[in-house]
Amino acid sequence: MANSNNRSRRGSARRRPSYTTGAARRRNRRQLLVLFLFLGVILAGYAFSRCREQHINDVAVPGHYPDLERVMGAPASSVEKDYEGFRLSFNPQNKTPDWVAWELLGVETDGPFSRGNKFHQDREMFGCPDTKDYSNSGYDRGHLCPAADQKWSSKAMSDCFYMTNMAPQVHELNAGAWKTLEEKERIWAQRDSAIIIVAGPVYSAADNKRIGQAGVRVPGGFFKCLLAPYAPQPRAIAFVYDNARCPGNMSSYACSVDEVEELTGFDFFSSLPDEIEDKVESVYSFTEWNQ
Give how far Cα 178 sits from Cα of 47, 103, 138, 253, Å: 48, 18, 17, 11
Helix, strand, coil percentages (3-state) for the chain, rounded to 5, are: 40, 25, 35
- Nearest Cα neighbor of 197 from 87, 110, 63 is 87
Give how far Cα 274 sits from Cα of 27, 224, 260, 269, Å: 61, 21, 18, 10
Residue 218 buriedness (CB in 10 A; 0-12 / 13-18 / 19+): buried
How far apart are the C-alpha atoms of 246 and 240, rounded to whole Å? Answer: 10
3-class state of residue 31 by DSSP: helix
Q: Are 199 and 100 in contact (CB under 8 A)?
A: yes
Question: Which one-letter DSSP state was computed for residue 144?
Answer: S
How far apart are the C-alpha atoms of 188 and 195, rounded to whole Å? Answer: 7
CA dihedral 52, 57, 60, 62 (to 10 degrees): 120
Residues annotated as catalytic (active site), given as ranges:
143
How far apart are the C-alpha atoms of 103 and 214, rounded to whole Å? Answer: 31
